[in-house]
Chains A and B, each alone.
Chain A
Amino acid sequence: MKRLALLVASVMLLGAAYQPLTQRRDSRPPEARLGFFPPAPVIKALSADQYQFLSHVISLECLFYFGTLVEQRGPAPDWNRLYEALFTASRLDPYNMDAYYFAQAILIWDARMPERAIELLEYGFAHRIWDWYLPFFLSFDYAFVLKDYAKAGAFMAKAARLNPQAAWFSTLAARYFYEDGRTALALAYLEEMIAGASNEAIRRHLAIRALAFERILEIEEATAAYRERFHRLPGALDDLVRTGALQSIPEDPYGGSFYLDQQGRVRTTSNLAFGGRGGGPHHD
């Protein structure tokens, strides 16, 4: 009888404590959720031969953390901590493609850390010498973000050599030496990223960005048509609709509004991020 009473009391205590504990843990700030990872040499020294798997665990932790925030459209992730975690993952296992793919997917635009992303990717490519994705990503980063077209062309040529089936890589390598047509390049790059994205949160994240670029491209093409017809830039997007160059002003999937700046370049108030908080090196 005593034992049964003790069991009932223990179960009640468990039930009463666990629900509020879950709530408290769920309400932790995002930076606490990702946790802290010691430097790679420390993890390596303490994990014997498990460091490769731990590297994968860290990159998955980053993905879950980011995925949760994207799903909830909650506060901005702690980009620095994400970068540090991905850095640790790459040093534990320099072949871990998930870490590089995730770095490419989020550090370039959302976190505004293109140099750090490039550094990670170059480290990865030094090890994954057979993988055309890494030079492909790097070529995009150099061209679109850093505007270093010589390096972009060199990396795209490497990607083309590693993946001879993708004939358009070679064309792209040549085009990278010129600054024009970058929206089309960005779109081509995003479509390649989406095609290989097995994770739903990342795929959706990239698809929204691709949709935004499709719409930017649509406006750019309409602006070019207007310019050819009237030999001047349109004053506003309404001019494009009024003259029939554009059927209607496309909606920004990030919730902002597209507009033309004084040079006739397409801008958006969202800065290509939900709530206009991210943006990154945006479409200029």
Chain B
Amino acid sequence: MPRQIRAFITIAIKGGIRDRVLAAIVVVGVLLLLTTPVVAVFSMRQVLALATSYSLSIISLMGLLLTLFVAMSLVARDLEQRSIYTVCSLPISRTAYLLGKFFGLAVLIFLTLAILGCFSGAALFVIERFYPPLRPFSWGAFVTGLWFQYWVLLIVGAITLLFTTVATSMFLPLALTVGIYFASYSTEAVRYFIQSASGQEKLDPLIKVMGGALYWILPNFAAFDLKAQIIYGVAMDGKTLLLTQLYGLGYLGVLLTVATAAFSRREFV
């Protein structure tokens, strides 16, 4: 990895750690995870399943908040503080700058998920001892699920970064990313509906085309969602996981390429 990118990764990580938002999100996440046993005992027949579902929801939510806040401020802060002009005047490529910032974000998200995952894992380990489930809890599925959750957040971070490279306000990238995030969990279901007999009969041709196009354009986050596999021990398919990983890698590659291209052409006045 080029030295310039490494330098920006370090800057992004240091900035993120200094950022109070990051610390606050991790602290709130850990506190919420500590309440897992209290929430889980309300379950009638599946204490561990409820605990796992609750933990994963917190990790997902906290991970999303962290990604949005940090990704939004990565470039925007440099623009606001005008330090971007200094960077641009130096013999440093803008691509290295943006990729360094993104990989710094990737490290921060990874650390956050690791911390939240450890606390969650500890809570689930204790609960499993007291309330053994019908089927043994799969720690392999838990780690795999968190890994794919990490990839969802990487893609969300890259989308945010892409929008911040072209937008002039902070609100637009945030609104667009949140909208895409929610829509991306439904594109697969929409496609299934379009393909169904009912969808074929009822839907307007234009809506069918738009729904189909959204499936191919937006990331399919439903493929990365392994909660049923973690919570209930539903079998995982290795080939599907591999294809999902490759799809994520490809999608991230496209996003970062477009983002760096857009950022390289941006004029700072």
Q: Which residues of A contact B (CB under 8 A)?
A: 41, 44-46, 48-50, 52-53, 56, 59-60, 63, 93, 95-98, 101-102, 105, 128, 130-131, 133, 196-199, 202
Contact = CB atoms under 8 A, between A and B. Distances in A.
B252 interface: no
A99 to B, nearest CB: 9
Nearest to A54: B57
Contacts of A105: 44
Contact of B45 (A52, A60, A98): A98
Interface of B: 41-47, 49-50, 53-54, 56-57, 60-61, 131, 134-135, 152, 181-182, 185-186, 189, 221, 225, 227-228, 231-232, 234
Contacts of A56: 43, 49-50, 53-54
Contact of B42 (A44, A46, A131, A199): A199
A53 B134 contact: no
Contacts of A60: 42-43
Nearest to A55: B53
Given A49-B221, A53-B54, A130-B135, A198 B47 contact: yes
13 contacts: A44-B185, A46-B182, A49-B57, A50-B60, A53-B56, A56-B53, A56-B54, A95-B49, A96-B49, A128-B232, A133-B134, A198-B44, A198-B131
Contacts, number: 84
A95 B232 contact: yes
B57 A198 contact: no
Given A50-B57, A93-B228, A96-B49, 17 more contacts: A45-B189, A49-B57, A49-B60, A49-B227, A52-B57, A52-B227, A53-B54, A56-B49, A56-B53, A59-B44, A95-B228, A96-B46, A97-B44, A97-B45, A98-B50, A197-B45, A199-B43
A129 to B, nearest CB: 10
A243 B154 CA distance: 81
